[in-house]
A = this chain, B = another copy of it.
Protein backbone atom coordinates (compact mmCIF):
# COMPACT_ATOMS: atom_id res chain seq x y z
CA UNK A 1 0.00 0.00 0.00
CA UNK A 2 1.32 3.42 -0.97
CA UNK A 3 -0.02 6.84 -0.11
CA UNK A 4 0.12 10.27 -1.72
CA UNK A 5 1.15 13.21 0.40
CA UNK A 6 -2.47 14.13 1.02
CA UNK A 7 -3.42 10.63 2.14
CA UNK A 8 -0.45 10.32 4.44
CA UNK A 9 -1.14 13.74 5.90
CA UNK A 10 -4.68 12.72 6.71
CA UNK A 11 -3.49 9.46 8.23
CA UNK A 12 -1.09 11.31 10.52
CA UNK A 13 -3.38 14.24 11.20
CA UNK A 14 -1.04 16.90 9.83
CA UNK A 15 -1.29 19.28 6.86
CA UNK A 16 0.01 18.09 3.51
CA UNK A 17 1.99 21.33 3.25
CA UNK A 18 3.80 20.32 6.42
CA UNK A 19 4.95 17.05 4.90
CA UNK A 20 6.10 18.90 1.77
CA UNK A 21 7.94 21.36 3.97
CA UNK A 22 9.64 18.53 5.87
CA UNK A 23 10.64 17.00 2.57
CA UNK A 24 12.13 20.27 1.36
CA UNK A 25 14.06 20.52 4.62
CA UNK A 26 15.57 17.10 4.05
CA UNK A 27 13.59 15.18 6.64
CA UNK A 28 12.08 12.74 4.18
CA UNK A 29 14.88 11.57 1.87
CA UNK A 30 13.46 8.06 2.07
CA UNK A 31 10.22 8.95 0.30
CA UNK A 32 10.19 7.71 -3.29
CA UNK A 33 8.58 9.34 -6.28
CA UNK A 34 6.43 8.11 -9.15
CA UNK A 35 7.71 8.57 -12.71
CA UNK A 36 5.63 11.74 -12.80
CA UNK A 37 7.31 13.14 -9.68
CA UNK A 38 4.55 12.41 -7.20
CA UNK A 39 5.61 11.38 -3.69
CA UNK A 40 4.79 7.78 -2.86
CA UNK A 41 4.82 7.15 0.87
CA UNK A 42 5.18 3.50 1.82
CA UNK A 43 3.62 1.80 4.83
CA UNK A 44 7.04 1.56 6.46
CA UNK A 45 7.55 5.31 6.15
CA UNK A 46 4.98 5.76 8.91
CA UNK A 47 7.59 4.74 11.46
CA UNK A 48 9.97 7.43 10.23
CA UNK A 49 7.20 10.00 10.41
CA UNK A 50 6.20 8.92 13.90
CA UNK A 51 9.77 9.22 15.07
CA UNK A 52 10.01 12.68 13.52
CA UNK A 53 6.80 13.62 15.33
CA UNK A 54 8.16 12.41 18.64
CA UNK A 55 11.45 14.22 18.18
CA UNK A 56 9.51 17.39 17.49
CA UNK A 57 7.50 16.88 20.65
CA UNK A 58 10.77 16.48 22.50
CA UNK A 59 11.57 20.00 21.36
CA UNK A 60 14.16 19.17 18.72
CA UNK A 61 14.54 21.50 15.75
CA UNK A 62 14.07 20.51 12.13
CA UNK A 63 17.81 20.88 11.69
CA UNK A 64 18.61 18.48 14.53
CA UNK A 65 16.11 15.97 13.23
CA UNK A 66 17.65 16.16 9.77
CA UNK A 67 21.03 15.31 11.25
CA UNK A 68 19.52 12.21 12.80
CA UNK A 69 17.86 11.16 9.54
CA UNK A 70 21.13 11.66 7.69
CA UNK A 71 22.96 9.54 10.24
CA UNK A 72 20.33 6.82 10.03
CA UNK A 73 20.68 6.69 6.24
CA UNK A 74 24.45 6.35 6.56
CA UNK A 75 23.94 2.93 8.11
CA UNK A 76 25.44 1.00 10.97
CA UNK A 77 28.57 3.16 11.28
CA UNK A 78 26.54 5.84 13.01
CA UNK A 79 24.85 3.63 15.63
CA UNK A 80 27.02 5.08 18.40
CA UNK A 81 26.22 8.62 17.38
CA UNK A 82 22.53 7.96 17.26
CA UNK A 83 22.60 6.25 20.65
CA UNK A 84 24.43 9.24 22.09
CA UNK A 85 21.84 11.54 20.57
CA UNK A 86 18.91 9.76 22.15
CA UNK A 87 20.73 9.53 25.50
CA UNK A 88 21.23 13.29 25.43
CA UNK A 89 17.58 13.67 24.55
CA UNK A 90 16.68 11.56 27.58
CA UNK A 91 18.44 14.12 29.77
CA UNK A 92 16.71 17.00 28.05
CA UNK A 93 13.34 15.35 28.64
CA UNK A 94 14.12 14.73 32.32
CA UNK A 95 14.87 18.42 32.62
CA UNK A 96 11.63 19.33 30.85
CA UNK A 97 9.71 17.00 33.13
CA UNK A 98 11.16 18.66 36.22
CA UNK A 99 10.24 22.09 34.89
CA UNK A 100 6.74 20.97 34.08
CA UNK A 101 6.35 19.60 37.62
CA UNK A 102 7.45 22.91 38.98
CA UNK A 103 5.04 24.83 36.77
CA UNK A 104 2.26 22.52 37.92
CA UNK A 105 3.07 23.26 41.54
CA UNK A 106 2.71 26.96 40.80
CA UNK A 107 -0.64 26.45 39.12
CA UNK A 108 -1.84 24.23 41.98
CA UNK A 109 -0.81 26.99 44.37
CA UNK A 110 -2.68 29.59 42.34
CA UNK A 111 -5.78 27.40 42.34
CA UNK A 112 -5.61 27.15 46.11
CA UNK A 113 -4.96 30.89 46.25
CA UNK A 114 -8.09 31.75 44.28
CA UNK A 115 -10.24 29.14 46.00
CA UNK A 116 -9.29 30.74 49.28
CA UNK A 117 -9.91 34.20 47.83
CA UNK A 118 -13.30 33.06 46.55
CA UNK A 119 -14.40 31.79 49.96
CA UNK A 120 -13.32 34.98 51.66
CA UNK A 121 -14.48 37.27 48.88
CA UNK A 122 -11.09 38.94 48.61
CA UNK A 123 -7.57 38.08 47.51
CA UNK A 124 -6.36 39.63 50.72
CA UNK A 125 -7.29 36.37 52.42
CA UNK A 126 -4.62 34.25 50.74
CA UNK A 127 -2.32 37.18 49.95
CA UNK A 128 -1.93 38.35 53.54
CA UNK A 129 -2.25 34.96 55.18
CA UNK A 130 0.57 34.04 57.58
CA UNK A 131 2.90 31.43 56.16
CA UNK A 132 1.96 29.11 59.04
CA UNK A 133 -1.68 29.16 57.95
CA UNK A 134 -0.86 28.30 54.34
CA UNK A 135 -1.19 24.55 53.64
CA UNK A 136 2.19 23.00 54.08
CA UNK A 137 2.55 21.84 50.47
CA UNK A 138 2.23 25.41 49.13
CA UNK A 139 4.68 27.09 51.48
CA UNK A 140 7.79 26.43 49.45
CA UNK A 141 6.36 27.62 46.15
CA UNK A 142 4.85 30.67 47.80
CA UNK A 143 8.22 31.68 49.18
CA UNK A 144 9.83 31.02 45.86
CA UNK A 145 7.32 33.14 43.95
CA UNK A 146 7.97 36.05 46.24
CA UNK A 147 11.74 36.12 45.72
CA UNK A 148 14.03 36.25 42.72
CA UNK A 149 15.28 32.91 41.40
CA UNK A 150 18.50 31.82 43.03
CA UNK A 151 17.70 33.91 46.07
CA UNK A 152 17.86 31.82 49.21
CA UNK A 153 14.37 32.08 50.69
CA UNK A 154 15.38 30.49 53.97
CA UNK A 155 17.52 32.54 56.33
Contacts and interface: CB of A to CB of B under 8 A. Distances in A.
Contacts of A117: 76, 79, 83
- Chain A interface mostly helix, strand, loop or mixed? helix
Interface stretch (A17-25, A29-37, A146-154): A146-154
A100 B93 contact: yes
Contacts of A97: 97, 100, 104
A54 B148 contact: no
Nearest to A119: B79
Given A50-B144, A103-B93, A144-B50, A114 B76 contact: no
Contacts of A147: 46
A83 B96 contact: no
A87 B114 CA distance: 10
A97 B99 CA distance: 11
B148 A11 contact: yes
A46 B12 contact: no
A110 to B, nearest CB: 4
A106 B57 CA distance: 11
A79 B148 CA distance: 26
Contacts of A100: 57, 93, 96-97, 100
A145 B86 contact: no
A111 interface: yes
A107 B54 contact: yes
Given A12-B149, A90-B108, A122 B83 contact: no
B57 A114 contact: no
